[in-house]
Structure 1
Amino acid sequence: MDTNAWSDRWNDFSPLRGFITPRIIARPSFDLDSNVAELVEFGTWRWPVAWYDLFPVLINIPIPIIDPNKRDALVWRVFGKDYTAFSAAIAWDSIRVSQPEVNWAKTVWFNQCIPRHAFHMWQVLRRKLKTQDRMKEWDATSLTNLNLMCCSLCSRGPDSHDHLFFDCIFSKQVWNQMRPMFVMDHVDSS
Structure 2
Amino acid sequence: MRLVLLGPPGAGKGTQAKRLAERHQVPHLSTGDILRFEVKAATELGRQVESKMSAGELIDDDIMSSVVANRLAQPDTMNGFILDGYPRTIRQAIALEEALRSQSLTAVVELMVDEEELFARIEARAKEAGTAGEDARADDTSAILRKRLVAFGRETRALSAFYESCGLLIKVDGQASAEEIAATIADHLVEALVRQRSAMPRKGE
Range of TM-score over shorter length: under 0.3
Larger proportion of helix: 2
Using the size of structure 2 for normalisation, the TM-score is 0.23
Question: Per chain length, whose mean CA-contact separation is higher, i.e. which structure has more relative contact order (CA < 8 Å, sep 6+)?
Answer: 2
TM-score by length of 1: 0.25
